[in-house]
Amino acid sequence: MNINQIFAYLSVEGPFPSKTRRQKVVVRNEIVLNPLELACDSLRQKALQIRRILAAAGIAPRCAFVGVEAAAIARLDFKGLQLFLQGAVSPTVNVGVLAYAEAFTSPSQKERYGQNGIDKLVTSFKILMTELQDALEVNAKAIRSDQHEYQEMLQKSFIGMLERLKDFFGDQEFINRSDSSMDNTYDAAYVLNSIGGFDI
């Protein structure tokens, strides 16, 4: 089954929102995403959610390698970060993210999307895993003394995810250590979704 998702973007004549019930549409653009592009977009949306939580506290990207200031930890939405981490790397739910790797590395899918499509998926996983590592590093600095066991469980689950990704994609490095190696170019749908706050 081939399921594509269509995003329609409309430009209207007047300002929006408006008190007027109907406005004339002057431009209509459509972006069609195939299943692999939807998977990539979903992974990047998750990475963006982590980045928003960390950026709100003033925590820079790649903090796992450059460190985190105590003042930033004090500003952190700790509960929001922990809820997101639990949903992303907990053994009971992380199959959701890994399901993309399993689905798109089958021989038929590799033939359908080609190496270029698989490379885009790998890049999206690298973006997500790098942000997850940052989030785990920040969480380790922010937790109370009675939560070390919980942190160890999250860390083990994260390492397990990295190992499974290497099983699917070969011996790749899924943690980017600098901005120069990170592909931060997102398609138009991803950018517009992030601006509009939509999750798919």
User: What local confidence, expressed as pLDDT, does residue 181 receive?
Assistant: 42
* Whether pTM exceeds 0.85: no
Express each pLDDT in 148-183 by its tens digit. Answer: 898 999 999 999 999 999 999 998 889 887 654 445
Express each pLDDT in 25-84 by its tens digit. Answer: 899 998 888 999 999 999 999 999 999 999 998 888 887 677 778 888 888 888 889 888
Write out the DSSP string of the chain.
----EEEEEEEESS-SS-S-S---EEEEEEEEE-HHHHHHHHHHHHHHHHHHHHHHTTPPTTHHHH---HHHHHHS-HHHHHHHHHHHH-TTTTHHHHHHHHHHTSHHHHHHHHHHHHHHHHHHHHHHHHHHHHHHHHHHHHS-GGGHHHHHHHHHHHHHHHHHHHHHH-S---S--SGGG------HHHHHHHHHT---
For domain 35-196, the CATH class is: mainly alpha
